A and B are shown apart, each in its own frame.
Chain A
Amino acid sequence: MARLIDKKLSRRRFLGTSSCALAVATVGSQTTVLKALASSGKVTTSKGAGTKDVFTACGMCVNKCGVIARVRDGRIHKLDPNPEFIKSRGMLCARGNAGVKVIYDADRLKYPLIRVGKRGEGKWRRASWDEALDLVAKNMNEIAEKYTRAGVMFASTEGTFQEHFFLQMAECFGSPNTVRHPTLCLSSNIQGFGATYGTNPTPDVLNADYIIMAGANRSEALITPDSIDQLKGDGGRRKLIYLDPRFTKTAAKADEWYPIKPGTDLAFILAMINVIISEGRYAKEFVEEMTVGFDKLVPHVKPYTPEWAAKETEIPAEDIRRIAREFAAAAPKAIYYQGRRSSFFTNDTQLRRAMAILNAIIGNWDTEGGMVPNSKIKLVKHDYLAPWYDDVPERIDKGSAAFLSEKDGSWINLRNRVLEAKPYPVKGMMIYKQNVVMSVPNRAKTLKMMDQMDFICTIDIVMSDTAWYSDVVLPEATYLERQDPLESLSGILPVVAFRQPCVEPLFESKPNLWIMQNLAKRLGSEVAETFDFTMDEHIHHQVSKNPQILKDLKSKGVHYMKVLPTYGLTKGKRLKTKTGKIEIYSANYAKKGLDPLPTYTKHEDVPANKFRLLVGRSAIFTHGTTANNAYLHDIMPENTLWLNTLSAKKMGLRDGQRVKVKSRVGEGTLKLEVTEKIRPDCVYMAHGFGVISKGQSLIFDRGACDAALIEDKVEPISGNAAMHQTFVEVSPA
């Protein structure tokens, strides 16, 4: 037995040291990767450092779970979950575990690259940081001179903890045109719940007895802690009702699954409200005390009977009625879960409003098992004085949506305006890790927008499709190699997370702060001064009002104030809405000419011989960033097109054959997966495949890209993309 341990250790030691020695040729893929990494000749790992455990935060997706990196001889051997990290319930998912293949990835960007061929041709030359940054600064200045500073747009990712340095750069350089992911994601949700509650609360999944999830696939679109808390496991009383055109893994866990007709969720909710009100099952006292506009809601939902909704949703009226009754009976420990990515249809904000209203009338606000406003641990903000520039116009997408985020913009609207050069031209693009080619609907348009740019610079860790279409590509250090600022993660149980470098950055990769500081130096002293601090100073400043936070982070990798939720903190206080109450009727919307109460609108039906293209998540993939990860690639090497068995039969298509999928804006070819798990009028493919970049060696030429197919429709209130309104033809390839 002891011998076994020795053996195991010695084997691992062998693997560990092989990453240091590297020159020695050994068999096997583990070492092959390292050998490939070494081909650049620049792997330096500290030898003989022995074993150390480093607390850090995962960077594979939006959740930022607590991680302990097990480092051996200067190489990260394994990423383990941090049991103290209460938000993630001490777990680490497949992607989190696959993080070692992010840092030790032969496809990583190793040093700055300058394009030498045509844009998108993939010809590069290696450059020094000095040369690359000089070139970036020169182009930024030239564009500013020629078109004003708004002529350079800044697209940023989320979750690196260093994105605010990039946004600071945008502000200090003087461009109002910053754009981030929310309008490809949850902006209609924020808008809909914000308009009702003044905030987007968190559903207390752990303590709820009755949960209705619609289009929120928590078993595959992992959100901590909801994905964990959704499972009853031990014979609990909880009931999970799940609505989705696909039989997902959440459907497999749900008590009831309804393949609702896409685009009709609002009918389902309005009918539930109709039943709850007409049968007097709402929380009368709560509605009286905490809400405004209920009196207008009563007549408004009258026509929305379950029988009417049954025709729209294809869910039987008796089921809608029963679910409404069960939901009200379980109140206030009942939640209509609002989901997260809410870029479904062009009426999405109104749908989220309806969800908020349904939750409100059963009185689950700020109670155990209900909708709980988030708490957040305060960190001191980094202040800087941005230089003032006179001639800079307003955001290019200003006024394109009823409520537009000043910082995040509206991706599709912004792109349309840039393409029209209205009201002014935008000719430069600075991109921080956002893979816009892969993520913004209608890829052809994104490429067209990039075509008309004078200059594009992308900071990333791999050659994403976006980097592939850039002029200068700058290699950032991965999340495992960086010291990142503290990040306060809000929730029912808020925490502060941070990252510390587990190993030194490989190759010539640099943390974003370093990149911004060195770019700032080249953009003049006014900009440079705002970056005049070290990461250490920045972090100490963040905790200057509560140094305990940093002590906790260093000793257990996380800081939190409480381990049990506290409810009812908003009792008797004004909410952040105009009226200070829950606004069932939104006077604010009425003033803007929008429906003050959610009104049902029908969407276009699926035309004959076409299918509705659905998008959705897989538990092993984060958007367009993980499909090329070696560990995850082993599990799913390409995406497939889901098609219902009956539909496939009708069309004479076989499981496993290659098919062409064509929409109005693009097409793709991929393998067909004939399955019972989808509505006969829909098709689905996983996101993240069909890449253009040859720098993603595992998945290049594999599967199809959904962004190439999805039409660029926009929800007018929040500016969010509407991703479920694309119809496609399917034919044998």
Chain B
Amino acid sequence: MKNKRFAIVLDTRRCIDCKACTVACKAENDVPLGSENYRNWVGEEKLRGQYPNLGQSFTPCQCQHCGNPPCAHVCPTKATEVNQDGIVHVVADKCIGCKYCMTACPYNARYYNEEIEAVDKCTFCTHRVYAGREPACVETCPTKVRVFGDLNDPSSEVSKLLTKYPSRVLKESQGTKPYLIYII
């Protein structure tokens, strides 16, 4: 879509690691079965402290739809494309299965999909978004960790959240300019 820059803003304080997003994504996008096949996951971060003083955080994650996506740079056949709205996606027919993008992605967001015979990844549920709906992971989340929207629109909820709160992105030093933005 033109003149848009889609992003997901996450408030991980709300995440209870229930995996609803992971399963919703799998069903919505016909991701093949198998524990390695997923577009979307919840990272259980390292347990902090020792019994009985413990702490743990959960980081829901998926493709970061980078502003500077290394996966797209390294693909020999331009099978990874970036839409005008920033959504990064794979054109399955062009994928030769070299898995270079999988080694290039610092977020491990890609997997090889045996059913479509191509590397596969989160598309921000493009088919839903372009039909005016939210991505499946956003919609299904019990505690509403994720908020999806257009950062080019200053009145969108994502823009407002990023104005209100300080935030961070994962592996900023990689220079990938991610658009999965975590509220601190």
Asked if B170 lies at the interface with its beta carbon under 8 angstroms from chain A, I say no
Cα distance, A227 to B141, chains bound together (Å): 12
Beta-carbon contact of A92 and B33 below 8 Å: no
Give min CB distance, B45 to chain A, whole Å.
10
For B74, the chain A residues whose CB sits under 8 A away are none
Cα distance, A7 to B81, chains bound together (Å): 14
Beta-carbon contact of A253 and B20 below 8 Å: no
**Residue-wise interface mask of B (122-144) relative to A, using a CB-CB cutoff of 8 A (1 in contact, 0 not):** 01001100100000100111111
Cα distance, A630 to B56, chains bound together (Å): 28
Contacting residues of chain A (231-289) with chain B, CB-CB under 8 angstroms: 231-233, 247, 249-253, 257-259
The segment from B84-92, B104-112, B150-158, B171-179 found at the interface with A is B84-92
Give min CB distance, A106 to chain B, whole Å.
11
Cα distance, A419 to B56, chains bound together (Å): 47
Residue in A5, A9, A78, A253 whose CB lies within 8 Å of B136: A78
Give min CB distance, B43 to chain A, whole Å.
13
For A94, the chain B residues whose CB sits under 8 A away are 18-20, 22-24
Give min CB distance, A17 to chain B, whole Å.
13
Categorize the interface residue count of chain B. Answer: 35 or more
Beta-carbon contact of A80 and B139 below 8 Å: yes
For B33, the chain A residues whose CB sits under 8 A away are 29-30, 33, 630-631, 634
**Residue-wise interface mask of A (1-43) relative to B, using a CB-CB cutoff of 8 A (1 in contact, 0 not):** 1011101110110010000000000011111010000000000
Contacting residues of chain B (10-30) with chain A, CB-CB under 8 angstroms: 11, 13-14, 16-20, 22-24, 26-28, 30
Beta-carbon contact of B17 and A15 below 8 Å: no
Asked if A615 lies at the interface with its beta carbon under 8 angstroms from chain B, I say no
Cα distance, A600 to B2, chains bound together (Å): 68
Cα distance, A231 to B16, chains bound together (Å): 9
Residue in A7, A93, A100 whose CB lies within 8 Å of B20: A93
**Residue-wise interface mask of A (597-609) relative to B, using a CB-CB cutoff of 8 A (1 in contact, 0 not):** 0000000000000
Beta-carbon contact of B126 and A259 below 8 Å: no
Asked if B103 lies at the interface with its beta carbon under 8 angstroms from chain A, I say no
For A89, the chain B residues whose CB sits under 8 A away are 142
For A27, the chain B residues whose CB sits under 8 A away are 114-115
Cα distance, A5 to B49, chains bound together (Å): 47
Query: Among the interface residues B32, B84, B143, which one has the most CB atoms of the partner chain A within 10 A?
Result: B143
Cα distance, A11 to B30, chains bound together (Å): 9
A29-B115, A94-B20, A631-B23 known; A252 vs B136 contact (CB < 8 Å)? no
Query: Among the interface residues B18, B34, B123, which one has the most CB atoms of the partner chain A within 10 A?
Result: B18
A676-B47, A677-B54 known; A8 vs B14 contact (CB < 8 Å)? no
Give min CB distance, A19 to chain B, whole Å.
11
Give min CB distance, A64 to chain B, whole Å.
15
Beta-carbon contact of A233 and B142 below 8 Å: no
Asked if A683 lies at the interface with its beta carbon under 8 angstroms from chain B, I say no
Cα distance, A11 to B89, chains bound together (Å): 15
Q: Which residue from chain B places its CB closest to the CB of A251 in the assembled complex?
A: B54
A9-B127, A91-B20 known; A634 vs B54 contact (CB < 8 Å)? no
Cα distance, A482 to B85, chains bound together (Å): 42
Give min CB distance, B125 to chain A, whole Å.
9
For B37, the chain A residues whose CB sits under 8 A away are 634
Cα distance, A81 to B114, chains bound together (Å): 29
For A594, the chain B residues whose CB sits under 8 A away are none
Beta-carbon contact of A676 and B54 below 8 Å: yes
For A15, the chain B residues whose CB sits under 8 A away are 30
Give min CB distance, A698 to chain B, whole Å.
10
Cα distance, A12 to B123, chains bound together (Å): 15
Beta-carbon contact of B54 and A81 below 8 Å: no
Asked if B50 lies at the interface with its beta carbon under 8 angstroms from chain A, I say yes
Contacting residues of chain B (66-99) with chain A, CB-CB under 8 angstroms: 81, 83-85, 89, 91-93
Q: How many A-B residue pairs have CB under 8 A?
A: 171
A97-B27, A252-B56 known; A619 vs B16 contact (CB < 8 Å)? yes
Give min CB distance, B151 to chain A, whole Å.
18
For B58, the chain A residues whose CB sits under 8 A away are 249, 252
Asked if A637 lies at the interface with its beta carbon under 8 angstroms from chain B, I say yes
For A185, the chain B residues whose CB sits under 8 A away are none
Give min CB distance, A72 to chain B, whole Å.
11
Beta-carbon contact of B83 and A1 below 8 Å: yes
For A678, the chain B residues whose CB sits under 8 A away are 51
For B28, the chain A residues whose CB sits under 8 A away are 78
Q: Which residue from chain B places its CB closest to the CB of A33 in the assembled complex?
A: B33
Beta-carbon contact of B56 and A11 below 8 Å: no
Beta-carbon contact of B30 and A30 below 8 Å: yes
Cα distance, A3 to B89, chains bound together (Å): 11
For A7, the chain B residues whose CB sits under 8 A away are 91-93
Beta-carbon contact of B54 and A257 below 8 Å: yes
Give min CB distance, A242 to chain B, whole Å.
11
Q: Which residue from chain A places its CB closest to the CB of B57 in the assembled complex?
A: A252
Cα distance, A1 to B32, chains bound together (Å): 24
Contacting residues of chain A (682-702) with chain B, CB-CB under 8 angstroms: none
Query: Among the interface residues B11, B32, B51, B81, which one has the most CB atoms of the partner chain A within 10 A?
Result: B51
Q: Which residue from chain A places its CB closest to the CB of B52 in the assembled complex?
A: A259
Give min CB distance, B32 to chain A, whole Å.
5
A94-B22, A97-B24, A631-B33 known; A5 vs B126 contact (CB < 8 Å)? yes
Asked if B184 lies at the interface with its beta carbon under 8 angstroms from chain A, I say no
Beta-carbon contact of B14 and A233 below 8 Å: yes
Give min CB distance, B91 to chain A, whole Å.
7
Asked if A392 lies at the interface with its beta carbon under 8 angstroms from chain B, I say no
Beta-carbon contact of A631 and B11 below 8 Å: no
Give min CB distance, B111 to chain A, whole Å.
12
Asked if A669 lies at the interface with its beta carbon under 8 angstroms from chain B, I say no
Asked if A222 lies at the interface with its beta carbon under 8 angstroms from chain B, I say yes
Residue in B81, B115, B130, B143 whose CB lies within 8 Å of A5: B130
Beta-carbon contact of A645 and B51 below 8 Å: yes
Q: Which residue from chain A places its CB closest to the CB of B21 in the assembled complex?
A: A94
Asked if A412 lies at the interface with its beta carbon under 8 angstroms from chain B, I say no
Beta-carbon contact of A80 and B14 below 8 Å: no
A27-B114, A93-B142, A635-B35 known; A620 vs B19 contact (CB < 8 Å)? yes
Beta-carbon contact of A677 and B47 below 8 Å: yes
Residue in B30, B35, B85 whose CB lies within 8 Å of A12: B30
For A677, the chain B residues whose CB sits under 8 A away are 47, 51, 54
Asked if A219 lies at the interface with its beta carbon under 8 angstroms from chain B, I say yes
Q: Which residue from chain A places its CB closest to the CB of B50 in the assembled complex?
A: A676
Query: Among the interface residues B16, B27, B130, B142, which one has the most CB atoms of the partner chain A within 10 A?
Result: B142
Give min CB distance, B73 to chain A, whole Å.
20
For A100, the chain B residues whose CB sits under 8 A away are 27
Beta-carbon contact of B127 and A219 below 8 Å: no
Q: Which residue from chain B places its CB closest to the CB of A8 in the assembled complex?
A: B127
Q: Which residue from chain A places its CB closest to the CB of B125 in the assembled complex?
A: A8
Beta-carbon contact of A29 and B54 below 8 Å: no
Give min CB distance, B28 to chain A, whole Å.
5
Give min CB distance, A355 to chain B, whole Å.
23
Asked if A323 lies at the interface with its beta carbon under 8 angstroms from chain B, I say no
For B14, the chain A residues whose CB sits under 8 A away are 231, 233
Query: Among the interface residues B57, B81, B115, B127, which one has the most CB atoms of the partner chain A within 10 A?
Result: B115
Beta-carbon contact of B51 and A676 below 8 Å: yes
For B24, the chain A residues whose CB sits under 8 A away are 78, 92, 94, 97
Residue in B16, B27, B91, B92 whose CB lies within 8 Å of A631: B27
**Residue-wise interface mask of A (131-171) relative to B, using a CB-CB cutoff of 8 A (1 in contact, 0 not):** 00000000000000000000000000000000000000000
For B30, the chain A residues whose CB sits under 8 A away are 11-12, 15, 30
Cα distance, A31 to B114, chains bound together (Å): 12
Give min CB distance, B29 to chain A, whole Å.
8
A5-B130, A259-B51, A631-B23 known; A30 vs B83 contact (CB < 8 Å)? no
Which 5 pairs show the lowest CB-CB distances between chains A and B? A28-B115, A219-B16, A619-B18, A91-B142, A97-B23
Given contacts A4-B81, A31-B115, A94-B24, 13 further A-B contacts (CB under 8 A): A1-B85, A5-B130, A27-B115, A29-B33, A81-B140, A91-B20, A94-B22, A97-B23, A631-B27, A676-B49, A676-B50, A677-B47, A678-B51
- Could you list 10 examples of A-B contacts with CB < 8 Å? A97-B23, A97-B27, A220-B16, A231-B143, A232-B13, A257-B52, A632-B23, A634-B38, A646-B51, A676-B49
